[in-house]
Amino acid sequence: MDMVDLEPHHVALLTAAAEAWDRKEDARLIISQEGAVIRVGDGTPMAHPAVQVEDVAAMRFAHLVRELGLDASTSQEVHVP
């Protein structure tokens, strides 16, 4: 297993990725409780706003994981100073 040292900017990216994951999961919970479709004042169905929050957060998470190189299939040990 390779060792990877994380620089401060890597820690910031990793933190942002974790926050994006949390936001995605929070939105998923809301959607599971309230449904993906809501009805507006006149009864017209529309996507729940949390659907967009979930999508954006998932894309942000995926981008940050790629930026960190964590999507690679290599096994590495991470060392945070």
Q: How many CA atoms lie within 13 A of 2 on its CB side?
A: 9
Report domain extents, the chain.
2-35+47-79
Full-model pTM = 0.78
Position 76 confidence tier, pLDDT thresholds 50, 70, 90: low
Query: How does pLDDT run across 18-39, given as a tens digit for each residue?
Result: 999 999 999 999 999 999 999 9
More confident residue, 81 or 62: 62
Helix H or strand E segment including 68: helix 49-68
Report the mean per-residue pLDDT for the chain.
Answer: 89
